[in-house]
Amino acid sequence: MHHPKVLFLDEPTLGLDPQTRNRIWDHVRELRKKENLAIFMTTHYMDEAENCDRIAVIDYGKIVALDTPDNLKDAVGGDVVTIKTEDNEKALGVLKDQYNLPSHQENGAIRFTVPHGEEFLPGFVSGFPLPLISIGLHRPTLEDVFLKLTGHAIRDQEVSQMQDLKRSMRMRGH
């Protein structure tokens, strides 16, 4: 291979097994370091985007954010706390009224964000007035960033197009 100053990678690990993906990323990092390369990459794998110095989030063909992975995650608004209670509806009210925390229910759990989650949790757990079934904490991921900036993992339009395709296939007798 020649020694370019810029390398363009279009979904370089699409469809590869985890071992091969890791080997490719090791090779790309080594090339970048050894050759002092600028690398432009497209990917749908958010964990791969972690390898980048800067990330552009593109929605409907427009750049909606451009920054470092850490700055993008910080912009989400804090650490993500997930709780399950015996009465999630009542817990949503408690979070709003007593803690002034916007929250939402997702897959049977309640999610909300707080700054410095590891410092927030001890007081929260000891003072929450309802029994907690489970609690989780994680720093926002690039997937969280993407979903916050774009609004949906799967677009309503894409779901509608899939339903139309299925309907037309049934009409043809397939």
Domains of the chain are 6-73 (3.40.50.300), 78-139 (3.30.70)
The answer to whether residues 136 and 103 touch, using CB atoms and an 8 Å cutoff, is no
The answer to whether residues 85 and 91 touch, using CB atoms and an 8 Å cutoff, is yes
Average pLDDT value for the chain = 87
The answer to whether residues 67 and 55 touch, using CB atoms and an 8 Å cutoff, is yes
Long-range CB contacts (< 8 A, 24+ apart) of 68-71? 69/142
Per-residue model confidence as pLDDT tens digits over 21-39: 999 999 998 988 888 889 9
In this prediction, residue 171 carries a pLDDT of 66
Percent of residues, the chain, with pLDDT higher than 70: 86
| Mean pLDDT of all residues in 112-127 | 93
Per-residue model confidence as pLDDT tens digits over 138-174: 988 898 888 888 886 555 555 565 566 666 666 666 5
Give Cβ neighbours of residue 58 (< 8 Å, ≥ 6 apart): 64
Give Cβ neighbours of residue 43 (< 8 Å, ≥ 6 apart): 11, 12, 13, 49
